[in-house]
Amino acid sequence: MSQRRADPHGSMLPNDEVMPYSDDETDDELEDTSESEEEEEEEQQGAPHHPPEETARGPEIGWKVKVNDRAYHQLPEFQKKVFLCIKKSRYSGNAIKTYKYNAFTFLPLNLYEQFKRVANIYFLALLILQIIPAISTLPWYTTLIPLVIVLGITAIKDLADDLARHRMDKEVNNRKCDVLLDGRFKEKKWMDIQVGDVVRIKKNEFIPADVLLLSSSNPNSLCYVETAELDGETNLKFRMGIRATDERLQEENQLARFNALIECEEPNNRLDKFTGMMLWEDQRYPLELDNMLLRGCKVRNTDYSHGVVIFAGADTKIMRNSGKTRFKRTKIDELMNYMVYMIFALLILVAAGLAIGHTFWYEQIGSKAWYLKDGKDYNASYRGFLSFWGYIIVLNTMVPISLYVSVEVIRLGQSKFINWDLQMYYAEKDTPAKARTTTLNEQLGQIQYIFSDKTGTLTQNIMQFKKCTIVGRSYGEPTTKEGVKLEKIKPVDWAWNSLADKKFDFVDHLLVELIKSKKDKDALEFFKLLSLCHTVMVENNDGELVYQAASPDEGALVTAARNFGYVFLSRTQDTITISEMGQEKTYEMLGLLDFNSDRKRMSIILKFPDGRIRLYCKGADTVIYERLSPDSRHKETTQTALDLFANETLRTLCLCYKDISASEFEAWSRKHKEAQVVMVDREAALDRVYEEIEKDLMLIGATAIEDKLQEGVPDTISKLAKANIKIWVLTGDKKETAENIGYSCSLLTDDMEIHYGEDVNTKLRTRQEKRRNEPPSSFRPGKKKPAELFFPGSGKNALIITGGWLNEILCEQKKKRRRLRLRRLGKRQTPSNPQDPMNDWEKEMRQIDFVDMACECEAVICCRVTPKQKANVVSLVKKYKKAVTLSIGDGANDVNMIKTADIGVGISGQEGMQAVMSSDYAFAQFSYLQRLLLVHGRWSYIRMCKFLRFFFFKNFAFTLVHFWYSFFSGYSSQVAYEDWFITLYNLAYSSLPVLLVGLLDQDVNDRLSLKFPKLYLPGQQGLLFNYKKFFISLFHGIFVSLVIFFIPYGAFLQTMGQDGEAPSDYQSFAVVTASSLIFTVNLQISLDTSYWTFVSCFAVLGSIAIYFGIMFDIHSAGIHVIFPSVFTFTGAASNALRQPYLWLTIILTVGISLLPVVCIQFLHKTIWPSVGDKVQRNRRKYEMQLEEEDKKKKPSAFQRGRASRRSAYAFSHTPGYANLISSGQSIRRRTTAQGGARR
């Protein structure tokens, strides 16, 4: 729960260092804090405070687990209604299910989902209409065949996707674990584990469920776990069993007799909290998160652990954090649906108009013409009604069913290209990029906001000791033993140190030589401090020292000391043993003052073998410099080095010491012991005592650690920024660490003004007060942001805000507490009153203000945020900016954010697969994101837009010929083409060229796409496919249909063939118009193709050849003899196309259709060229300019005279193992760590 601190005015403000509450927080967690706030509110409102009766009761705990008793959890009181009278246990089984279908539900469910698409229902209705003889103008198979093909292809794709989910679920559910059944441990599958089962988890095994730790092979039932799957962090964390179970539940028979009843909180998504109570043999034992092993974690450095399953399967915290699976659709999908509705409305209007025309025509002409009698006694109105349905069928190709199957094929192909891209393949871990969905590719070309996790996504979570400064002299640059700088980096050879970590890289040979010579006493003291002042624990693994650190920073510093000859060997509750340049020494530990987020430092008080008492301290420069002795030297030179380290975005810590007299220590020790037993506010009392001893310190130097970014992160962020994509970092890390990484990856720069939570809250309150003083009508929810900016001026701004401030700004905590208070008082929440200090309208306007302010900034970093808050931030930007968003992360705490965004990307690798399983796209490195968006995303968007524009055009051109023909056929629903041409037009004659454009076309190659990120802008602005482009395609289709109909019509009106016969029959006319259409659409797509390959040429020429080949076959006498009623155009093609006059007509029709397009394209490329046109035209010139600019670029000099220096301090956001060490709980009882660690 978020702790709060008082500001100078006395109000309570959020604590930047603490993670705020989650939406799944149980109500009793808020009771203590909310009661005092309620009293304050009621006093301010003048209302008397009546304590509710309910508060006298303890919090209700509704989850009960009986150990080793499966039947208990099947009792009626634990049953819940599923459907009607069907009930099942409220306790989930341990099997997980992410698939959608099974063998029985696939066909009905898949068809149901497909027929939720309006177009499929439309085509099914058309099929039914075509079966009715009275209104059928086309054979039923012209709709059935395409519909079956579309449904079949989509079903096969959905089946393949779901089978992959089945395989993944099966792999997880079939993992093995030891379960205690019938008095002994048996190997069972994860899916067979139930709540209340006792399980045994071995070293390096994943934890199968949320388990209460009972005992382990380590002393005091200590268990080390790696939580990378949950939060992306690779440093180990410890969990511990309670003392009663540790002492009495070590053996198998003891565990078999264990029959405790555990009562705890209901299943929720809080990864940082657990509250419960265990009742065993009439004794009650409190339970907390430190006693729990969560599913998804991996047991490390612990031979075995025993535990009882509390939450299984879907009830586990990792699954609760997976969030709700949302059906994601692209902007183009939504636009296309609206356009289909428009086309359908147009179809209704056109059909209605033609039906009315037929009614009047029949009354005036048709009924009087004896040769038009059909023997049916229908009046004109009824004939018009039938004609309406006939035209609905005839003109249905304005919404072609092949459009959807073509879109699916294109998306599938684009997904394969992503999977096959070798430049997105990470060879080190054999991890290719993976498109886990095939429906969102073109959306990758429209991203406006990226929300990224930090740990494991931007960084590798690997710390490396890079540089240091010792008594004013800096080390870490490549130098020789004599201190001469090297141009070529030569790593230090650690052969002289048998205990060195061979993986440790360092390039300054001078510092190593100083240590080896033992001449520089300050350097020796520097590394002695690093080897002693820490909370690291050590294990001897087959002669190899293995360090377990609470943070990777500590591990890196102790490893550095180890390589420089000061090797941490072992520790007990009150001693620490190191090897000093080969000589083993043991120091008595008198006090260990652990790190925390407020102190930003840690200290150790040691008694040397010669009796001296010395305090060693390391911490942030901002707190160390305040506590230095006036006599301390090298402050200015160390400060300059810290500035340089900060400029290089290294993480720094200052090192110092203090000699303490025995009497001074005795006096301080008494105060320390008194503070340890204080009952009220013990932490504050201890901090005051620590302050007394941590003063008048002597500065030795400072360390500089590199928090290794993933390769190419700064370059990726820079290129995405040039593409006008804004990147927000959402992390659970503390503020200093997140800010430091912001500078490392170039998200933050020194010329940016950084605004923090308090500043943001003040600005929002000012805007809110201003709004309250204005008429409410001038501000409406959803209205565009006011013209007045939050940050006027041309300067760059960045926003860094913590989770506590985020709740304060968005009023989330107040809303939660108000709900809780009303429920306890037995009241209902009343509707929002406009006069309330914060009603729904004001809350929404405040959210809009916050989003507007954040979007004015070049960079936004939200730190110490919960998984729920990450998702909420994404939702706010989606809701109020209507922007296309992408979230990228690597752990279970990122899953909710990944599912909320329009596109979710999972980073696969050592951090686990939870994020990947919930993502739409997955790859191994953040740097691949630029290729995914700027190359694959942009190409996919351009291809899909070009495909849709052309597809609508070619179908308007094809279908509207029927419309023009109806004016000369009495509006009788007569088709202008042969039936088989209508059936095959979209399937065979015109589909392949446009399909290949949708798959292969590219305006510029991938290299230029990355060099010119501005090429990405048209996709963000939706310029290539919108209502304007749709109407251009519509009018283009109308123009071409006019030309294709009326030029052949004019040619056929009064003409004579070569043989003296007039080729002006309906069938010849149908052949000429169809041939003109095929030539026109295939040549038109050729004009629109930017990237020509052999396949593209073959597709265009092949489509024309296929048309003529099939046409001559179905117009032959042979097939007419076999199917006389189906193939009726006998000899029409050969008769029409042997006339040169008709060939001239076809050429004239095609030429007039294409000439305006050629002229317009020429004018656009010469007078109004796009960015892509300019890049293509001046490609070599631009490349030369870029090369010259790269040569001129130099690293920016550090500004020494800045008004405010940025601290590079960044350290672990959790306390270390000090409590474990000082209590002796981590020390083995069987063999001493010291003896085991010695060589």
Is 303 among the residues known to form the active site?
A: no
For residues 371 and 997, give the distance between their C-alpha atoms in angstroms, rounded to a whole number: 50
For residues 1068 and 25, give the distance between their C-alpha atoms in angstroms, rounded to a whole number: 77
For residues 619 and 656, give the distance between their C-alpha atoms in angstroms, rounded to a whole number: 9
Tokens encoding 684: 């504050």
Contacts of 923 (CB under 8 A, 6+ apart): 424, 426, 431, 432, 433, 434, 905, 907, 908, 932
Backbone φ and ψ for 257, nearest 5 degrees, come out as -85, -5
71 burial (CB, 10 Å; 0-12 / 13-18 / 19+) is exposed
For residues 176 and 191, give the distance between their C-alpha atoms in angstroms, rounded to a whole number: 9
The amino acid at residue 960 is L
For residues 495 and 836, give the distance between their C-alpha atoms in angstroms, rounded to a whole number: 73
Pairing state between β 752-755 and 726-730? unpaired
Nearest by Cα to 322 from 299, 300, 295, 291: 295
For residues 1194 and 243, give the distance between their C-alpha atoms in angstroms, rounded to a whole number: 61
In 1027-1100, the DSSP E strands lie at none
- The DSSP H or E segment spanning 461 is strand 459-470
Sheet holding 236-240, edge to edge: 236-240, 222-226, 298-300
Helix axes 1066-1088, 1140-1166, angle to 10 degrees: 30
Q: Is residue 271 within 8 Å of residue 156, measured between CB atoms? A: no
Q: Which candidate in 453, 594, 852, 1003 is catalytic?
A: 453
For residues 713 and 926, give the distance between their C-alpha atoms in angstroms, rounded to a whole number: 7
**According to the 3-state scheme, what is the secondary structure of 956-1019?**
HHHHHHHHHHHCCCCCCCCCCCCHHHHHHHHHHHCHHHHHHHHHHCCCCCHHHHHHCHHHHHHH
Nearest by Cα to 700 from 737, 657, 667, 729: 657
Nearest by Cα to 334 from 871, 725, 902, 896: 902
Q: Is residue 22 within 8 Å of residue 868, measured between CB atoms? A: yes
- Mapping DSSP to helix (H, G, I), strand (E, B) and coil, where does residue 680 land? coil
The amino acid at residue 326 is R
Tokens encoding 582: 């080969």
Other CB atoms closer than 10 Å to residue 53's CB: what's the count?
9
The answer to whether the Cα torsion of 104, 106, 107, 112 is positive or negative is: positive
Backbone φ and ψ for 1046, nearest 5 degrees, come out as -80, -30
The answer to whether the Cα torsion of 373, 379, 380, 382 is positive or negative is: negative
For residues 305 and 297, give the distance between their C-alpha atoms in angstroms, rounded to a whole number: 13
- Which of the residues are catalytic? 453
